[in-house]
Chain A
Amino acid sequence: MKKGLLLIQFFSMFLCLSSQAQQANGIVVKGTILDAINKDQLVGATIQIINPKLSTSARLDGTFSFNLPKAGTYTMHFHYVGYVDKDTTLEINSFKRIHILLRPAYSELKTVSISDKQSRETESSAKRTEQLSANMLNVVSAKAIQLSPDITVANVLQRVSGVSVERSGSGDGRYAIIRGMDKRYNYTLVNGIKIPSPDSKNRYVPLDIFPSDLVERIEISKTLTPDMEADAIGGAVNMVMKNAPERFYFNASISTGFNQNVADYGFNAFPVNAINKQSPYEQNGAAYIAKPADFTRDNLNYTNKKVTPNAIANLSIGNRFFDKKLGVMLGGSYQNTYRTYKNIFVPGDQYIDKTNAVGVLQIKHANFRDYSTQVTRIGLNLKSDYRFNENNTIGAYALYTILDDAQSRLTRDTIQTGSTRAGYGTGQTWYYGRSKYQHQSILNTTLDGKHTLMPGLKFNWTGAYSLAENNIPDLAEYQYNTGFFADGTNPTPYQHGNTLDATMHRVWQDNTDKDLSGYANLAFTNKLRDIPYTITVGGMYRDKQRDNKYQDYRLNTDGTAQPWIDIYHYSWSVNNANGSPANFNTYRATEDVSAGFGMIKFKIRKLETVAGARLENTSLSYESDALETQVGKRGSISYSDILPSVNFKYILNEKNNLRLSYFASINRPTFYEIVPGGNVGDEYSETGNVLIKHATADNFDLRYELFPKANEQILIGAFYKKIYNPIEYGFTGVKFDTYSPQNFGDATNYGIEVVFEKYMGNFGLRANYTYTNSSITTTKFQTFNNQTVAQLPLQTRPLQGQSANIANAALLYKNTKKGIDVQIAWQFTGERIALVSPVYEFDQWQKGLNTFDLSAEKRFKKHFAIFVKVQNLLNTPDEIYIKQPTTGNAAPVSYQVPGSSQTLASKSLYGQNYQLGLRYSLQ
């Protein structure tokens, strides 16, 4: 609460600053300054009065005002970057209201259409794109990104209506969830091209791999048109990387900061360079018999460091050369951040039978974990284009991005049942230390061309090569047990010595995804009796190849009861000295997607229609190193989907649109979800499912849009989706201890969406809210009197990952004159199912989450700015519950509220992140 108060004080301080700027005496002149063509407000445009020398700048809503000492004739000078300056002389005798229109500088050139040339980084441009788009689109501009407290694209995304994010193990937002639908239902594009995920498990690209500073804007499409790839049921995220500017552009920033938890608890570091990047099998060949000394120890030795400041640097530089024909934009980004957090993990997978009653929940283990994560991101971005002439442009793009994540996890696990646990402070205890280092990278190179073959006939093509790599070498966790418990000989608990547990696994995982894709579209525009239309046909083909490698060594203690001293006193032998020479997880897989579409766009009076169909054919095959005698050593799956869609936009007037759309789409399983290998997951054992089906969906959307001013909007939408065979994760196996993808049945999702943006003076408010009702009905496991009930009960629940309520709001303050920007952002993600349990009403629910972030910037000396960003202002706990009491436990369970009707399964406190930086920009 104290923190909340502080927040208010901080904000009101800025309020005072702004009111001081407005002294009320003399004659007042008020005005607005707008783009002459599209009437966008030119926020930050400077307005100068020559004599006496006065100056101000346009506020967020495009307005400005002067207090003039006396009546008279004044000369005013208006300036805005990229626009033609304007001078006006006015006689002012009393209160006056003026409207100024500036013409964009490029409108003098006639070679390129406006929509291509306008600086797309601005917020108003973003809104314009939304309004003009044929489908339902939300756009976040670079200005909004720069202004927000976010350092990665994933964090930015959660500011968009209906978008929330799922955090990674390090607490960073990693995946986008559109309209509350699980991350698997959307895809990510870079400059319109789909790129492979380095993650072996998912198709979705981890968005925290992209530094937000490299991005010009982010487009989120919630409906699909036939020219878009069809595997999105929630929506598609397109990151448009920074384009070459019209003139020299330079932007650099450097910042530092820290995580509150690191300051409070320090950082448990292990030497990453001590990790063997290759397994003994890879190093020495298949015949090699591994020895105990082949496995390193230093990587399991932890040192608590006190001071670990973050370092973040960005640079982007661009210009046009050769008579502005060649444009180049180069971007580089480096982030090195440290975080620690505490996590309570109570696996709620224990169901115990009852005599003459249904079974109940029992908690066996309660883990308290200390995570320390160092994340290093490096991003390089090169975008260039060459304009041969007004009809032909070729572009080349390269992106290389690396994410290194070194995480230590120290766990204390206390048993919650049995005679060894008499109450708090007693019971058998295990200690674990795990070191995980993950290296991910994405390389994407794209070549594209846009050609006007003849008036009305346009051809564009794209060829892309992408390489995504993921490497988790030597994932290792040691384990020893101890505790304060009675052992049957004496009722008084006593301290048992630290004793090593028998086994430790050392696992090497490595995968490479290679995508080759080509796209070609032909568009013909003409008129039929005054009705303009465009017919587009096109096709795409992508060949995706994965090479997945897996090695698992199991080390055993040598048979004696070894006391734990440290990792250097751990004597082990190698149980499978040749590693895993042939296994399901070492596999090669291919997925070929070919698609063709036809689409027509036409406008009859105020009704704009885009209609068409897309055919997508998917063919997937894999072959693993498993034995010939094993079921599922190799497999292939192919399917075709015909996906019609229609988008209507009814333009009520210049400021109002009404949209209606239908599209069919699909959701594909990943290689990981199909290949039947067992894996060691972070929390549970995991396995693929060869029988998994791809999901298909019918999607209906209705949206009303009001654009009162160029960067203001009100959107109200409704949607309905029927999803057949959605893929969700649940537990399988007789003991429900294995986590695997499954088709549970068909689901429906419907909801409404409201977006509101409004600017008044120096203040702005952006808010959005999405309500989604999602339901799927499936049978669940239950027992009565120790036997599985004959008729399994049906349970209706929301889809996994689907929140009923999602809301975002941001309050902005912008004082252009003083060069101050402040933003407070709030995000609310309503409760949602994190894990689907096979047991009736045992699903694990993530509690509704409120997070607050703050950013502020002050510009000085024209080109400089200092900025402050604070993430997770209130240190909101991320909690997961099972809506069942711990009836199966006799003694109180650790970390639980006594008598509570629900059970805490997980709780993480990520701590505040502070960032302070300096930016230099020239444009």
Chain B
Amino acid sequence: MKKHFLKIGLAVITACTLFSCKKSSNETVNISVPLRVVGKAISTTTLPEKDALGNPLPLKGTMLAGKTYDIMSDVTVNSGDTLYIQPGVTILVHGDGLTAASSPTFYVNGTLVSDGSKEAPNTFTVFETSTIKKSNPTFKDDAANDPAFKGYWGGFQCGPLAKLLLLRFTHIEYVGSPWDVNATDYGAKAGDPKFGIYMNSGTNARASLIVEDSWFYGSKDDCIGKCANINVSIMRNTFIKTGGTGGEGVNFKDGVFGDMAYNLSFGGATNGLKTASVAGKSTIVNIYNNTLVQCGFRQTKATRNGSINTETNTGGFIYNNIIVNCKQGLRITYTSEKGSPSDTLNTSYGNSLTCIGRGTPMGGTEQYMVFIEPHQYTVKKSTDFNGYVNGTTITTGADAGTNIGTNTASDSLKYDPLFVNYDVAANSVGRNYRVSELPAGYDFHLKSNSPAIGAGVYPGGTGKNAMPVKANAPLLVQYGFPMKVVTAGGTFGATITPPNKDLGAFPTDGTGNQHKY
């Protein structure tokens, strides 16, 4: 055992050393962190273990680095217990997505920490068989057959007593198996697909959901779905192929506070990032420095947005985002089929870039793309880059505050963010914009002549780069930008990256999203 640890430790040190060599200008020191063991080590690799009667035992303790665990049925982390997963653990879930019983789910009523690292990430994926196939790059735009949307297993369902779900450098793949028995305990109905992560503290003390530097690939519906009454920090993640025929990358409901930043959402069915509360209750989530590409086209219903969307009584600081070839840009919603108006008082937004590579809103059978949906609250701010022309803002009546502007389709390429490797124009025509598989080698860092460079708000910035202040918005004043609602630092805390002077998830100073594709 000890030898094994040593090996991993060595590997980590070597990797770090190599990494640090790259940068000659800045001296970086990396010292290996000793592997942490919480509670008992879990040496059995086929889980869950059963008692004499055949009932599954709840799981707690530490899953060990380098091991591959097979999950055969539902796993429960009891209230008060912790399941800690060392870096470099692979978890294969034996699920088929056909029924709840044959598609294991992690039920978390205590704490689950998947402590992957950049060098030794953790993986939760499906156990591949001849009939349970994984997806591959040939499934570009084929929701009917793409295994990414089969929902082979049930993800992480966190009950009202859960304290913390922390995923760090962790791959989560193929989630979304159906609910049956206990659907109502998690705000769902039998037959509904499970969200990759669901967490709702209800009236209990607010739990924390910290998801950072992780990769989500393939989900039947929402990837992080309908969480409520929790504090969040969702940073530097990649969301690919989220939602088969609908569903968001991240979807927060009532009573959620925190930050979503430096995430890349590529090929999401509906929105990449969404917040929607209920009447009389606030949700404030700051949404900044995210990059959203090719989202919104598998949602066939109108009135749904296709990138970043805030609805019913939600607000926050929404800055520094890049939206490219999505169905629509940012929407501060006045109305949608399901939602009610956003909390416009507690919303502050700007310094974002929206680009449509096509040059026409729609052609032939192509789905439409617009910068901003008119008749909603969103307007183009002076710090924004997009082709929307603000129109009349209604001043009286139920829709007071909404704007009736127009989209200048031909303006599209004017706002190309100049990603290092992504052709905005080529990817927006034909059916290319519907591709949800991220081709290898794509790079959403910014070319040196990108208009997104230096366009963001950031601590210490001045003028158009000054951190926004909205003194008359009590909740924005109270919660700040970024927020400090989750524990920061350490194994059980979040690493919060403040807004950057550049737009998007991949700023030039390398402090943002660390993923490579």
B131 contacts chain A at the CB level, 8 A cutoff: no
Nearest CB of chain A from residue B368's CB, rounded to whole Å: 5
11 more A-B residue pairs beyond the given contacts A783-B279, A788-B280, A889-B398, with a C-beta to C-beta distance below 8 A: A353-B341, A488-B328, A489-B362, A499-B300, A557-B245, A559-B145, A559-B244, A576-B99, A577-B99, A786-B280, A788-B279
Q: Is the CB of A581 within 8 A of B335?
A: no
Nearest CB of chain A from residue B431's CB, rounded to whole Å: 12
Q: Which residue of B lies closest to A579 (CB)?
A: B180
B443 contacts chain A at the CB level, 8 A cutoff: no
Nearest CB of chain A from residue B504's CB, rounded to whole Å: 24
Between-chain CB contacts (< 8 Å), 17 pairs: A289-B98, A353-B340, A419-B334, A428-B302, A487-B302, A489-B368, A499-B301, A505-B191, A556-B244, A559-B145, A559-B244, A575-B193, A581-B181, A734-B228, A735-B278, A781-B280, A786-B280
Q: Which residue of A lies closest to B399 (CB)?
A: A890
| Stretch of A375-383, A614-622, A624-632 at the chain-chain interface | A624-632
CB contacts under 8 Å to A, within B228-266, are: 228, 244-246, 253-254
Nearest CB of chain B from residue A634's CB, rounded to whole Å: 14
B373 contacts chain A at the CB level, 8 A cutoff: yes
Nearest CB of chain A from residue B100's CB, rounded to whole Å: 7
Q: Is the CB of A552 within 8 A of B191?
A: yes
9 closest residue pairs by CB, A with B: A559-B143, A554-B191, A419-B375, A788-B280, A890-B399, A489-B361, A578-B99, A783-B280, A576-B178
Nearest CB of chain B from residue A482's CB, rounded to whole Å: 10
Residues of A within 8 A of B (CB): 289, 350-353, 355, 359-360, 362, 364, 415, 417-420, 428, 481, 483, 485, 487-491, 496, 499, 501-502, 505, 552-554, 556-561, 575-584, 625-627, 629-631, 676-678, 687, 734-735, 781-783, 786-789, 887-890
Q: Is the CB of A350 within 8 A of B340?
A: yes
Task: Report the Cα distance A488→B372, complex, angstroms.
Answer: 8
Contact of B407 among A489, A687, A890 (CB under 8 A): A489
B290 contacts chain A at the CB level, 8 A cutoff: no
Q: Is the CB of A352 within 8 A of B302?
A: no
Residues of B within 8 A of A (CB): 76, 98-102, 142-146, 149, 178-185, 189-193, 228, 244-246, 253-254, 278-282, 298, 300-303, 312-313, 328, 334-337, 340-341, 343-346, 361-362, 368, 370, 373-376, 394, 397-399, 402, 406-407, 409
Nearest CB of chain B from residue A366's CB, rounded to whole Å: 13
Q: Is the CB of A559 within 8 A of B345?
A: no
Task: Report the Cα distance A392→B328, complex, angstroms.
Answer: 85
Q: Is the CB of A418 within 8 A of B303?
A: yes
Q: Is the CB of B409 within 8 A of A627?
A: no
Residues of A within 8 A of B281 (CB): 734, 787-788
Q: Which residue of B lies closest to A560 (CB)?
A: B144
Contact of A351 among B146, B279, B374 (CB under 8 A): B279
Q: Which residue of B lies closest to A487 (CB)?
A: B368
Task: Report the Cα distance A583→B185, complex, angstroms.
Answer: 11
Nearest CB of chain B from residue A451's CB, rounded to whole Å: 53
Q: Is the CB of A554 within 8 A of B192?
A: yes
Nearest CB of chain B from residue A673's CB, rounded to whole Å: 16
Q: Is the CB of B374 within 8 A of A355?
A: no
Residues of A within 8 A of B337 (CB): 364, 415, 418, 428
Question: Known contacts being A289-B98, A487-B368, A734-B278, is A419 close to B374, with CB within 8 Å?
Answer: yes
Q: Is the CB of A576 within 8 A of B180?
A: yes
Residues of B within 8 A of A887 (CB): 398
Task: Report the Cα distance A761→B75, complex, angstroms.
Answer: 84
Residues of A within 8 A of B180 (CB): 576, 578-583
Task: Report the Cα distance A353→B144, complex, angstroms.
Answer: 40
Contact of A481 among B301, B336, B409 (CB under 8 A): B301
Nearest CB of chain A from residue B15's CB, rounded to whole Å: 40
Q: Is the CB of B254 within 8 A of A734?
A: yes
Residues of B within 8 A of A558 (CB): 143-144
Nearest CB of chain A from residue B490's CB, rounded to whole Å: 32
Q: Is the CB of B302 within 8 A of A485?
A: yes
Q: Is the CB of A353 within 8 A of B362?
A: no
Q: Is the CB of A580 within 8 A of B191?
A: yes
Q: Is the CB of B280 within 8 A of A359?
A: yes
Q: Which residue of B lies closest to A580 (CB)?
A: B190
Q: Is the CB of A352 within 8 A of B99?
A: no
Residues of A within 8 A of B406 (CB): 491
Task: Report the Cα distance A641→B334, complex, angstroms.
Answer: 54
Q: Is the CB of B254 within 8 A of A576?
A: no
Nearest CB of chain A from residue B155's CB, rounded to whole Å: 15
Task: Report the Cα distance A786→B336, complex, angstroms.
Answer: 18
Chain B CB count within 10 A is highest, among A353, A485, A560, A630, for A353
Q: Is the CB of B178 within 8 A of A489?
A: no
Q: Is the CB of A418 within 8 A of B98?
A: no
Nearest CB of chain A from residue B439's CB, rounded to whole Å: 21
Q: Is the CB of B343 within 8 A of A890?
A: no
Task: Report the Cα distance A501→B245, complex, angstroms.
Answer: 10
Task: Report the Cα distance A829→B237, complex, angstroms.
Answer: 62
Residues of B within 8 A of A890 (CB): 394, 397-399, 402
Q: Which residue of B lies closest to A356 (CB)?
A: B345
Contact of B100 among A415, A417, A576, A782 (CB under 8 A): A576
Nearest CB of chain B from residue A863's CB, rounded to whole Å: 59
Task: Report the Cα distance A630→B157, complex, angstroms.
Answer: 14
Task: Report the Cα distance A499→B367, complex, angstroms.
Answer: 14
Question: Known contacts being A419-B374, A487-B368, is A362 close to B398, with CB within 8 Å?
Answer: yes
Task: Report the Cα distance A359→B340, complex, angstroms.
Answer: 11
Contact of B370 among A364, A488, A582 (CB under 8 A): A488
Q: Is the CB of B282 within 8 A of A787?
A: yes
Residues of A within 8 A of B300 (CB): 499, 501-502, 561
Residues of A within 8 A of B193 (CB): 575
Q: Is the CB of A582 within 8 A of B189?
A: no
Q: Is the CB of B279 within 8 A of A353?
A: yes
Residues of B within 8 A of A417 (CB): 335
